[in-house]
């Protein structure tokens, strides 16, 4: 019996060369589109090569002539470098094609037995072992899916930049059993901040018992998880029980445990679903209200009680008697002599304090202004963006008109056409890792999307606006500029060096040069320091007053670090942070794709700043074109949600009003009513359009005038209601939008 590709080879031998494939499929289309087509064929080849018994794809080149796929690998390597390689000026090997192809094959062969979630976990844990951080994997994954060449080239170049390519590659060749364990075992996925490490050490020195009093947003949960990881690594086996008075808090704990320990589980499940690694590690979650009735039924090794002051209640304190070897209490503050006495008796004394004042002084929760700068693409970028946009629309319309059956099949009957590019990207990823074949037009669309996003990623006006701001501020104040990469860092440095004190630090410089540049910047009274990954390297500039974030990286942790660790409070200082966003004009919009992306950028900034107790303001409030663009985008979101039960975004995941409202209902207010109930009451007196500032004010009132509000995704409630008080009130009352 012959395989399909063998029959094809017999019928069309002359058409199965790389030269024929190149002429018919690759030449004449944009390089990003050609990369998408070539990449899909190369992945099919690897599927056949590594698992010939389960061959799922008909190959388009002669498998028996190895030169064909060698040429294709070289094409993919060169095209990948063409698409993203100019972002770094690191000296690349003269054998780049061979080095990259070998690296890519090692990534694919290592990851192919694993699911997508396992793949991400494994890469992040290897990254933690090599360079003590995971953002390098997140940055690459935001650009493209793991199996693609774009992902591989991004990772390849970043590893070269930090001189960890060999170390990382060697880890990929570890025994399969070890890698399978590593992908699922508990491992802290980020390096604790200094105050978190201090808290962990204090608790251990106290014999594994005691209370940590840590201000809101200073990372109590991470300390608890770091303690669990430490005990597991020390003893080889551990059971953990997390108690809290609120189900919302427990759900958040569970989600953070999955993310921060790299565990394999569904984050959307409720707290009553345990997390486990083999029979060696388990985390269970429960309420004080349940456990206090019979604590002997819940024995554990490590007991963690969050918002521990609730455990001092007359009934709930019985939950603290759960049989356990180690006990940890967590709270923002524990007030009242009697409450302290009770908690001391059951959990041990407070062994570490980190107040709101400490957090602000250390820059964890800084006090400063944050401005959002919105810039359009330049004329040439806009022209190219328009051209690609038109192609995407045409291809998407063709796909919707031609492949409704295929779309229904791959979406499991969810829909028959793609209403958004996000839907398309999600289905493509599921198809790739589910071993499902897709039409060639779909791969071409993927290539166009890559090409279009690159324009936004490297927009010149955004960079030039940041340079102009630095010229204005850097002559009298000390500024720190966060760039995307080494190339942009050097570009900004070259534009500033002749006009003011300018310094830069990055991995392309020698250690001696980095120390010199940093020391000179610290000594100067005014000037600019430019760095791609400054905070990840643990560098603090206490007297820097202005932060300018041109980088397009979109992780909340990174934004908080950049605001909190660099812009510190000091005498006569008025810290300001500037965050830049690049946008296409509305005429270039693919409605759902660009509206979701644009508003997602703004929503996650709103969430971070509200959690920290500060406000985000538009730098140029009078820009009529920007304001009109925002109105158009919000109308698109409103219309889309009125037809769908959820919104899929790259930063917030799946947005559901019911989940956000649930968090409101169960978050801690200051009285007998929940924040949701208070908001419903407040909205009765609202008669006009609700602005961002007014929405944040209402949220803070509902939480007892607390300056810091931690409700994930709260800004989306405002958008899906169209900012209408009555509609927003109806959503809150009904717990869903119809």
pLDDT tens-digit profile of 146-200?
Answer: 878 888 888 988 898 888 999 999 999 899 899 999 999 999 998 899 999 999 9
Average pLDDT, integer, range 80-106 = 71
Residue 594 inside a domain? The answer is no
Check residue 127 and report its DSSP letter: H
Q: Give the span between the Cα atoms of 574 and 571, in whole angstroms.
A: 9
Same domain, 8 and 140: yes
Structural domain count, the chain:
5
Average pLDDT, integer, range 537-553 = 71
Q: What per-residue confidence (pLDDT) applies to 182?
A: 92
Tell me which residue of 298, 296, 275, 345 sits closest to 317, measured CA to CA.
345
Could you give the percent of the chain with pLDDT greater than 70? 83
Residue 641 inside a domain? The answer is no
Same domain, 167 and 135: yes
Same domain, 336 and 400: no
Residue 724 inside a domain? The answer is yes
Average pLDDT, integer, range 706-714 = 76
Of 531, 552, 583, which closes a domain? 583
Contact 439, 410 (CB under 8 A): no
Residue 522: pLDDT above 50?
A: yes
Q: What per-residue confidence (pLDDT) applies to 652?
A: 47
This prediction has a pTM of: 0.59
The helix (H) or strand (E) run that includes residue 371 is strand 369-376
Give Cα separations from 414 to 115, 441, 618, 645, 736 (angstroms).
22, 21, 38, 12, 20
Average pLDDT, integer, range 434-450 = 83
pLDDT band at 554 (very low <50, low <70, confident <90, very high): very low
pLDDT band at 206 (very low <50, low <70, confident <90, very high): very high
Residue 596 inside a domain? The answer is no
Residue 513 inside a domain? The answer is yes
pLDDT band at 716 (very low <50, low <70, confident <90, very high): confident
Range of the structural domain that residue 420 is part of: 379-450
Neighbours of 118 (CB within 10 A): 18
pLDDT tens digits for 578-601?
988 877 775 555 555 666 666 777
Average pLDDT, integer, range 4-20 = 66
More confident residue, 557 or 621: 621
Q: Give the span between the Cα atoms of 232 and 325, in whole angstroms.
A: 13
Q: Give the span between the Cα atoms of 594 and 525, in whole angstroms.
A: 42
State the chain's mean pLDDT as an integer: 82
Check residue 689 and report its DSSP letter: P
Residue 386 inside a domain? The answer is yes
Of 184, 213, 230, which closes a domain? 184
Average pLDDT, integer, range 304-317 = 84
pLDDT tens digits for 602-616?
777 777 777 666 778
Q: What per-residue confidence (pLDDT) applies to 537?
A: 45
To which residue do tokens 């090997």 refer? 93
**Which stretch, 214-228, 291-305, 480-494, has highest mean pLDDT?**
291-305
More confident residue, 707 or 512: 512
pLDDT band at 227 (very low <50, low <70, confident <90, very high): very high
């Amino acid at each position: 019996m012959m395989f399909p590709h063998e029959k094809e080879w017999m019928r069309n031998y002359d058409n199965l060369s790389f030269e024929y494939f190149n002429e018919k499929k690759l030449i004449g289309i944009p390089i990003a589109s050609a990369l998408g087509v070539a990449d899909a064929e190369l992945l099919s080849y690897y599927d056949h090569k590594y698992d010939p018994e389960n061959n799922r794809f008909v190959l388009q080149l002669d498998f028996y002539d190895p030169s064909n796929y060698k040429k294709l690998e070289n094409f993919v390597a060169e095209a990948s470098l063409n698409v993203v390689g100019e972002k770094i000026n690191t000296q690349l090997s003269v054998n780049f094609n061979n080095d990259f192809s070998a690296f890519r094959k090692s990534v694919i062969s290592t990851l192919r037995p694993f699911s997508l979630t396992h793949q991400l976990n494994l890469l992040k844990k290897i990254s933690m072992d090599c360079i003590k951080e995971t953002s390098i994997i997140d940055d690459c994954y935001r650009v493209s899916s793991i199996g693609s060449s774009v992902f591989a080239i991004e990772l390849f170049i970043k590893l070269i930049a930090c001189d960890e390519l060999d170390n990382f590659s060697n880890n990929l060749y570890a025994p399969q059993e070890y890698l399978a364990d590593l992908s699922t075992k508990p491992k802290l996925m980020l390096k604790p901040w200094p105050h978190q490490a201090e808290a962990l050490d204090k608790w251990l020195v106290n014999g594994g018992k005691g209370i940590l009093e840590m201000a809101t947003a200073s990372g109590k949960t991470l300390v608890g998880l770091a303690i669990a990881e430490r005990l597991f690594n020390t003893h080889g086996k551990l059971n953990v029980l997390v108690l809290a008075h609120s189900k919302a808090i427990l759900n958040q704990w569970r989600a953070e445990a999955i993310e921060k320990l790299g565990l394999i589980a569904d984050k959307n499940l409720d707290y009553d679903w345990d997390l486990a690694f083999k029979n060696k590690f388990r985390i269970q979650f429960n309420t004080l209200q349940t456990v206090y009735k019979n604590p002997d039924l819940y024995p554990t090794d490590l007991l963690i009680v969050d918002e521990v002051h609730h455990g001092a209640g007359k009934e709930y304190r019985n939950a603290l008697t759960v049989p356990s070897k180690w006990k940890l209490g967590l709270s923002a503050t524990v007030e009242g002599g009697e409450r302290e006495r009770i908690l001391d008796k059951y959990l041990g004394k407070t062994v570490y304090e980190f107040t709101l004042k400490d957090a602000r002084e250390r820059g964890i929760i800084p006090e400063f202004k944050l401005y959002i700068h919105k810039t359009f693409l330049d004329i040439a970028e806009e022209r190219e963006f328009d051209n690609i946009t038109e192609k995407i629309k045409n291809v998407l319309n063709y796909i919707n008109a031609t492949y409704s059956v295929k779309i229904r099949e791959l979406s499991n009957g969810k829909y028959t056409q793609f209403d958004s590019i996000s839907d398309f990207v999600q289905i493509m990823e599921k198809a790739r890792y589910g071993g499902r074949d897709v039409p060639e037009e779909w791969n071409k669309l993927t290539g166009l999307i890559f090409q279009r996003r690159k324009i936004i990623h490297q927009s010149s006006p955004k960079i030039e606006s940041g340079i102009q701001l630095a010229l204005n501020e850097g002559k009298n104040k000390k500024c720190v500029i966060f760039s995307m990469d080494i190339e942009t860092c050097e570009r900004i440095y070259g534009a500033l060096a002749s006009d003011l004190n300018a310094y830069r630090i990055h991995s392309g410089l020698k250690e001696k040069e980095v120390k010199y540049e940093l020391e000179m910047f610290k000594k100067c009274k005014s000037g600019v320091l430019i760095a791609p990954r400054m905070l990840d390297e643990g560098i603090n500039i206490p007297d820097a007053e202005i932060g300018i974030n041109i980088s397009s990286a979109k992780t909340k942790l990174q934004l908080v670090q950049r605001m909190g660790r660099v812009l510190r409070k000091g005498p006569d200082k008025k810290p300001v942070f500037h965050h830049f966003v690049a946008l296409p004009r509305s005429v270039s919009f693919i409605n759902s794709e660009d509206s979701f992306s644009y508003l997602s950028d703004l929503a996650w900034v709103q969430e971070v700043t509200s959690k920290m107790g500060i406000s985000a303001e538009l730098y140029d409030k009078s820009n009529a074109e920007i304001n009109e663009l925002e109105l158009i985008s919000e109308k698109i979101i409103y219309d889309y949600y009125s037809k769908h039960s959820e919104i899929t975004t790259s930063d917030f995941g799946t947005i559901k009003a019911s989940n956000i409202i649930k968090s409101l209902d169960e978050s801690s207010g200051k009285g007998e009513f929940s924040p949701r109930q208070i908001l419903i009451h407040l909205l009765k007196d609202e008669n006009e359009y609700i602005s961002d500032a007014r929405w944040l004010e209402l949220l803070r009132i509902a939480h007892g005038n607390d300056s810091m509000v931690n409700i994930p995704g709260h800004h989306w409630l405002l958008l899906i209601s169209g900012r209408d008080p009555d509609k927003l009130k109806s959503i809150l009352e009904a717990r869903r939008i119809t």
